Chains A and B, each alone.
Chain A
Amino acid sequence: MLRLANIARRVDSHNALQDISLELKRGELNILLGPTLSGKTSLMRVMAGLDRPDSGELTFDGESVIGVPVQRRELAMVYQQFINYPSLSVYENIASPLRVAGLDKQEIEARVAQAAQLLKLEPYLNRKPANLSGGQQQRVALARALVKRASLVLLDEPLANLDYKLREELRAELPVLFAELGAVLVYATTEPSEALVLGGKTACLNRGRVEQFGPTLDLYRDPDTLMAARLFSDPPLNSLALSRGNGGLRFAGAEQALPAAVTAELVNALPADEVESTLTLAVRGHHLRLGSDVAHASEPSARESLIEIRGTVDVTEITGSESFVHFTFMGQPWVALLDGIHAFPGGAAITLYARPHDCFLFNTQTGKRVRKLSGGE
């Protein structure tokens, strides 16, 4: 287990990492999710021992590893850029860490063969990296990491430079490849969808801090803070402040209050100490549905229990089976992800519905969630 306690590090007069505490267990895939410059690479470098943290503790299986030089750590790292020794053949590339470790020839051959087979590199063992495609070069880098049987494997956005389809392919293979090692696996990415496909546990990072850490799906369904919810949304999270007035809750700046049934449902779920706080409502794009799609939408009473959202369409993007509708709601840019082809022209009015059940409520001041989704959907 890799344990970080209050790790902090400043780079060039700004806080690259602030007060990071994590426990990463062996045999699990730990994902670092966050936008560029959120500190993922800085954190990985500290975990690897390439950089010293300014403060905090770093222990591996109980022993402190701060100050231990990288060469002596049992560590493998794969980067975004396909890093291979250009003058060595694929076989030699994969064998290089084993040669440095001084293993005997038979052992080296056996391990390289196994890694090559797992990563489908057998036909290419004699080629130089320059004669391979991008995907194959990254496979060589992965093979080299795999063959070391390290106890800590760090993958820093390894698929970011690959074609869309190649990324899908390798992404499915990765967890399987490293599962047997029983190592602590850390994977950095900027794409929420990638985190969801990979599973495991996710730490959401923003500006050098860990917003939330936990099982990936729990984080997705049950974010603790508005920031964590935002970090984990693709398309971007829709949110708007709520205000209280005569007649109950309403969207800030709206003339009409939300239907009574909706207000009741939302307010009922508030803990006692949050009943008076200012709230922000957030909902993911795919939970917005057209009137025609909402079950029993023809029944007026059913509509009364839904949040109605009226906006003006900016532009619609169609991906063949789904439509991204970008619209403006109460002056904010919102996105809806609808099933099927809906080519709304720019400037058209649009009305969408959301179930209160699907929405998150956050305390506007603290950013913390004040109402949970109960279980799944």
Chain B
Amino acid sequence: MKVQNNKAWLMVLPMLLLVAVSAIIPLMTVVNYSVQDTFGNNEFFWVGTEWFQEVLASERFHNALQRTLLFSALILAIEIPLGIAIALAMPRRGIAVSFCLVLMALPLLIPWNVVGTIWQVFGRVDIGLLGHGLASLGIDYNYTQNTFDAWVTLIIMDVWHWTSLVVLLCYSGLVSIPEVYYQAARIDGASRWAIFRFIQLPKIKRVLLIAVLLRFMDSFMIYTEPFVVTGGGPGNSTTFLSIDLVQMAVGQFDLGPAAAMSLIYFLIILLLSWVFYTVMTSLDNDAASEQGRH
């Protein structure tokens, strides 16, 4: 649907400039660093793909990558089913709807570092409600020293923070299912589970995929919350790719490898997003052909 209206380009121009300055140019700078090395004094010389090779071979990188993948997998495994379950339980009509929607939106509105801070304090054994409570029950819990506890804390924090997004997306999908489907299912004598499996799940497939894509990307790139809570510790047990990257670039000022790693990181995300996108659009095409052209 092409409208011959050149004014549209003019309106987009300021935004294009902004994106260019804040994103594209810095990106080019990073690419620049990734293929060069320096001995200081602002002298750079070309090293080609050396940094890339070093990063891809380094154990540190592989460990960080594994941690990040594990984290994402756990997040998805918990948040998606939980989100669907909550969305199914939410009322579709009446006053309670607005109340539930606001309740679900609240965790999403909190700035991320505040989320981190909340849980950091919450989990402290000395003054935190959770930490102190667990300690007084006799449970040995310390997220600054125990790897398992740190992981559990981070995961629960993320679930608390982001499940609402999955809930809201799935809810919007559920609400758009016409009432006749439920009526027909009742007439067919379908059980609750059958209704879920054959009506609700197929109908929210597209929205669900968006939710999975968003949660995957966000959890793969996660930085602020774990940084605030554990700082990457204890040791490097919660040092995810993003944290590792910043440590390298800002802490150690190893610009070359850091730039190479960030490009690799970027390419991994790009690849996985492309895979998701292809799956989503092929599902869309399926859906389009199933509707015929009514």
Q: Which of B1-34 contact A (CB under 8 A)?
A: 1-5
Q: Are A52 and B2 in contact (CB under 8 A)?
A: yes
Q: Measured between alpha carbons, how far is A67 from B293 in the docked complex, in Å? A: 28
Q: Measured between alpha carbons, how far is A69 from B3 in the docked complex, in Å? A: 7
Q: Are B5 and A51 in contact (CB under 8 A)?
A: no
A residues less than 8 Å from B1 (CB atoms): 50-51
A residues less than 8 Å from B3 (CB atoms): 69-70
A residues less than 8 Å from B4 (CB atoms): 52, 67-69
B288 to chain A, nearest CB (A): 9
Task: Render A158-172 as a binary contact track against B, CB cut-off 8 A, 1 for contact.
Answer: 000000000000000
Interface status of A348 (Cβ within 8 A of chain B): no
Q: Measured between alpha carbons, how far is A70 from B3 in the docked complex, in Å? A: 8
B residues less than 8 Å from A69 (CB atoms): 3-5
Q: Is the interface of A mostly helix, strand, loop or mixed?
A: loop
A352 to chain B, nearest CB (A): 37
Q: Measured between alpha carbons, how far is A51 from B2 in the docked complex, in Å? A: 7
Q: Which residue of B lies closest to A67 (CB)?
A: B4
B109 to chain A, nearest CB (A): 27
Chain B: number of interface residues, binned into ranges = under 10
B282 to chain A, nearest CB (A): 16
Q: Measured between alpha carbons, how far is A67 from B3 in the docked complex, in Å? A: 8
Q: Measured between alpha carbons, how far is A37 from B1 in the docked complex, in Å? A: 18
A193 to chain B, nearest CB (A): 23
Q: Measured between alpha carbons, how far is A158 from B96 in the docked complex, in Å? A: 39
Q: Are B5 and A37 in contact (CB under 8 A)?
A: no
B residues less than 8 Å from A67 (CB atoms): 4
A residues less than 8 Å from B293 (CB atoms): 37
Task: Render A30-73 as a binary contact track against B, CB cut-off 8 A, 1 for contact.
Answer: 00000001000000000000111000000000000001111000
B240 to chain A, nearest CB (A): 43
Q: Which residue of A lies closest to B3 (CB)?
A: A69
Q: Measured between alpha carbons, how far is A50 from B1 in the docked complex, in Å? A: 7
Q: Measured between alpha carbons, how far is A67 from B2 in the docked complex, in Å? A: 10
Q: Measured between alpha carbons, how far is A12 from B2 in the docked complex, in Å? A: 14
A67 to chain B, nearest CB (A): 5
B5 to chain A, nearest CB (A): 6
Q: Which residue of B lies closest to A50 (CB)?
A: B1
Q: Measured between alpha carbons, how far is A185 from B24 in the docked complex, in Å? A: 52
A residues less than 8 Å from B5 (CB atoms): 69
Q: Measured between alpha carbons, how far is A52 from B1 in the docked complex, in Å? A: 8
Q: Measured between alpha carbons, how far is A50 from B4 in the docked complex, in Å? A: 9
Q: Measured between alpha carbons, how far is A341 from B2 in the docked complex, in Å? A: 55
List the 7 shortest-distance A-B pairs measured between CB atoms, nearest first.
A67-B4, A69-B4, A69-B5, A37-B293, A52-B2, A69-B3, A51-B1
A sample of 12 cross-chain residue pairs with beta-carbon separation below 8 angstroms, ordered by A number, consists of A37-B293, A50-B1, A51-B1, A51-B2, A52-B2, A52-B4, A67-B4, A68-B4, A69-B3, A69-B4, A69-B5, A70-B3
Given A52-B4, A68-B4, 10 more pairs with CB closer than 8 A? A37-B293, A50-B1, A51-B1, A51-B2, A52-B2, A67-B4, A69-B3, A69-B4, A69-B5, A70-B3
